[in-house]
Structures are given as C-alpha cells and as structure tokens.
Amino acid sequence: MALSAPQIPRWFNSVKLSSFIIATQLRKHFPRPGKTLLHGFSAQPQMSSDNYFLQWGFKTYRTSSLWNSSQSTNSSRQEIGSAQGTLLPSMNEQTQKTENIPSFDSELSLEALDDLPPVSPLQLVSEEEAIQIIADPPLPPDTYTLRDYVDHSETLQKLVLLGVDLSKIEKHPDAANLLLRLDFEKDIKQILMFLKDLGIEDNQLGTYLTKNYAIFSEDLENLKTRVAYLQSKNFSKAHIAQMVRNAPFLLSFSVERLDNRLGFFQKELELSVKKTRDLVVRLPRLLTGSLEPVKENMKVYRLELGFKRNEIQHMITKVPKMLTANKRKLTETFDYVHNVMSIPHHLIVRFPQVFNTRLFKVKERHLFLTYLGRAQYDPVKPNYISLDKLVSVPDEIFCEEIAKASVQDFEKFLKTL
C-alpha cells in the first residue's frame, strides 16, 4: 500500500470527520476511537502511492458504511444516497433531530468520493489499520426515544444521574431536541447552580427538571429578575423555594404575567395582602394554572351553593384546593352533604375539608353510621360527630372511635350496599 504522508490527514479529515458529524452534534462529546484514528494515521510511517491509499481509504469508508448499514438498516445508505438535502423518507415528522446535518455531510462525502478511483476489496490491510477501523453501528439520525443517544451524550448521562426522567421528557418532541443540543458545561450548569441557590435540594432537582425542562432555554437574567420581583412582594426565600418546587413552571412566567395573576387573586378573593400571600405559597399552582376555573368556582360557591362572601373566604384560606376543584364534583358533594345528610351551611363552612374528599367515602361512612344509628351531626345534641372526623380520619380509626365497630363489620356492611 502506498500512502503519501501529506495527503492522508487532509483526505482523512474530510471523509472520516464527515462520518462523525453525520449523526448528531453530540459525537464531539463521545470519546471516539476515531480521534485516535486520526492521530494514529497521521503518524503512520508506511505509505504507498496516492492512488492506492485513496482507493483503500475510500474502500474502507464504503466497507465500514456498508457494514453499518447492514446493522442499522436504512440510515447510512440513505445518508450516502440522498444528496439533495431534503428530508429523508424514513424520517419521522415528530422527531426531526438532525434533518439538515446528514444531507449536508453526505454531499460533502460524495464530493470527496467522486474524485477517488475505486479500490479493490482484496487490498491487504495492515494489523494496525485493521484495528483502527471503526466498527460500531452509527447513531440513528432520528429515533423516537433518547435511549439510543444516552450512552453517547454526557449531558444526557448527567441528567439521568441527577434524577431527570427522560422517558417522560421524550414524549414532547421539541423537548428531546432541546436537551440533545444543550451542553452541560455551558448552559445547564448555570441554571442548576441558580436553582440550588434558590433552595431546591439535589434530590428534588430531578423531579423539577422532568416537569420544567424548558427552563434551560430561559435566560439566566430573566430568572433572576423574576425571583427579585417575588422577593420585592415580600415572599421570603424559603417560601419562594417552596413555591418553585410545587409549581415548577413558576419561573417560566414573565414578571408582568406574575404581577397580573397576583393582582387577579387579590381582587377576586378580596383577601388581605398577607392572606393572599399565604394562599399563594400554599398552592402556587394557582399562579401557573388557568384562571377560568377559579372564576367559575367562585360563582358556583356564591350563586349555586349559596355561601356568603366571608364564608367563602374562610373556606378558601383553610382549603385552597377548593378554588381549582371540579365543578361537577363540588355540586354533587354539596348536594349529598346538604340535602341527604341535612348539614346546614354554617357547619359545612367550619369543615371545608369535606369538599376535598371523594364522594364515595362520605357516602359509605354516612350510610354506615345511619345503619348503626350514630349519624348525629348536630353539635348541640349528644354523640355529635363532626364532619372533619367523618372524612379525614383513616378507616381503622373511623371504625374504632367514631362508629364503635370493627373494620370487618364495616366491610360486611359495604358489601350490602
């Protein structure tokens, strides 16, 4: 084999490097043996003539690519085949991870290959050169899952070790593309340090990022401005950390939007500033969720269920979840509690937890108490059972203390319903 020294690295660079870039950009992170290949070949003493080397080099590329294409059916053949730069037919519309890159590089490789004469497959190859042929299957240019890329990308590996659930993120097509294009050192690290400064613990970062992976595309300055805004509204650091943890999308809202929402809650609920603040800290998803259900629920409480304004305010400060409850479930629960169990409004206001429990639980327990003759919900009379004891305690305690029966009796009764 005659290899000419100056020509090897240049030609090799053009051909071999293109095969590296053909998959995604993350190849540069992967400790490829190909790099050693490059260096190794530039130091190769044994050379033959240009022709022979070029023939061999071309053949190597073609051999390795054919081998690869036999392992991964369509990808490399199409990389070589399509020189037009349009989308490959097998590409999935959803995950177009690398639509531009392979066609560009296939053009490059084809141009380089056009100048080379064909090489005979019976050409002898030395041991060192044989070792340095890359035989790994290439990365698929497009895929549905991140499984194919996780072993080749340090970013993805570090995210998995943090606890981020990639299987959930890859269900959103843009999310996976975003994650692949990020660099851990440059982009992700800054945001992680910022989140840690905010007060989110290491073991909570995983769940946070699974929900709000889009925070990586936010500007760090914007995030700092938003936190500063929240602090200016007298939210303490611990409170802000708690809010961000429970509502992961909070920091993705602009200052203006956050301001509007806080203002809405202040006006709508007509609570004092401190109480609104406490409410928002307890249920921060009020700020990130839609406002229409809240408006509708306020109307339901006032008009349909007939609670007065101060009663609604009291109930909401005790159980904030009532603001985002399902309207149908609310009305069904209220209908049963008020009409069937005959509990007046002022008692329901004292125990709003009843709106947060499943209706079947309330029904079963009430029917059991009626069967035993212990269904007494009037605080004036003896043997009074309060609503929160009815709904909030677990089954064993309910049976023993309130119903004064055994759990087996309760189960037998349930089987007669």
**Residue 415 binds to another protein (criterion: CB under 8 A):** yes
Touching another protein, residues 380-399 (CB under 8 A) = 395
Q: How far apart are CA 68 and CA 74, in angstroms?
A: 10
> Of these, 13, 25, 167, 272, which contacts another protein (CB under 8 A)?
167
Helix axes 154-162, 202-211, angle to 10 degrees: 110
Q: For residues 139 and 416, what is the distance between their CA atoms, to the nearest angstrom?
A: 61
Identify the residue among 21, 150, 205, 300 touching another protein (CB under 8 A).
150
Of the pair 121, 394, the CB lying nearest another protein is at 394
Under the criterion CB under 8 A, does residue 404 sit at the interface with another protein? no
3-state secondary structure 128-192: HHHHCCCCCCCCCCCCCCCHHHHCCCHHHHHHHHHCCCHHHHCCCHHHHHHHHHCCHHHHHHHHH
Q: Is residue 163 within the footprint of another protein (CB under 8 A)?
A: yes
Of residues 28, 168, 172, 196, which one binds another protein by CB under 8 A?
Answer: 168
**CA 158, CA 176: separation in Å to the nearest integer?**
15
Cβ proximity to another protein: between 127 and 292 the closer is: 127
Burial tier of 201 (Cβ tally within 10 Å: 0-12, 13-18, 19+): exposed
- Work out whether 414 is an interface residue with another protein (CB under 8 A): yes
Q: Give me 281's structure tokens.
A: 């800290």
Q: Which one of the spans 56-64, 165-173, 196-204, 304-312 is the region binding another protein (CB under 8 A)?
A: 165-173
Task: Name the residue nearer to another protein (CB basis): 172 or 299.
Answer: 172
Q: Measured from the CB atom, is 98 or 210 closer to another protein?
A: 210
Smallest separation, CB 267 to another protein (Å) = 39
For another protein, the binding residues in 52-81 under the rule CB under 8 A are none
Pairwise CA distance, residues 263 & 278, whole Å: 14
Cα separation values, 164 from 156, 178, 207, 304, Å = 9, 14, 6, 44
Interaction mask 125-144, another protein, x per CB under 8 A: ---x--xx--x---------
Cβ-based neighbours of 306, under 8 Å, separated by 6 or more:
345
What does the binding site for another protein look like in residue numbers (CB under 8 A)? 33, 36-37, 40, 128, 131-132, 135, 145-148, 150-151, 156-157, 160, 163-168, 360, 364, 395, 411, 414-417
